[in-house]
Amino acid sequence: MPEPPGGAIAGERTLIGAGSSAGPMPTADQVFAPPRPVSPEEEEMSHFREVFTEFVRIKKECLEPIEGLTFDRFLVTLRKNKDALVSRYACKTVRFQVHVKDGKAALKATPVKD
């Protein structure tokens, strides 16, 4: 029986991506590996990014200016507030929520004891 072009045997199927330059196919262990645990620092940074995104969105909705508002500056403010509240309430961390107060974007901090 003649061999089809590309060296495959008649009736053989080629997996998508096989032989591509994308690299080797992942093993079952790689595909089904449990996700690695997220560190408290990564979780906090993720929370701060979500709060920043929501804060910018609310400011835009309230027609407030956002010029000069950067994540880095926002992060400094959040960390200062967090540190002060952790010290004041002897809590583990602080969660922030964005809300509208008097027609402007505002933050509400909630101490977390657990």
**What is the per-residue pLDDT across 51-77, written as a single tens digit (0 to 9) for each?**
999 999 999 999 999 999 999 999 999
- Reduced to 3 states (helix: H, G, I; strand: E, B; else coil), residue 71 is helix
Pairing of strands 93-101, 104-112: antiparallel
Residue for token digits 């959040």? 78
Average pLDDT, the chain: 84
Examine residue 11 and state whether it is found in any structural domain, yes or no. no
DSSP state of 90: T
- What's the structural domain count of the chain? 1
Can you tell me the distance from the alpha carbon of 40 to that of 81, in angstroms, rounded to the nearest whole number? 18
Examine residue 90 and state whether it is found in any structural domain, yes or no. yes
In this prediction, residue 106 carries a pLDDT of 97
Which pair of structure tokens corresponds to residue 85? 């509240």
Q: Is the pLDDT of residue 4 over 70?
A: no
Can you tell me the distance from the alpha carbon of 106 to that of 58, in angstroms, rounded to the nearest whole number? 9
Examine residue 4 and state whether it is found in any structural domain, yes or no. no
Tell which wins on pLDDT, 32 or 54: 54
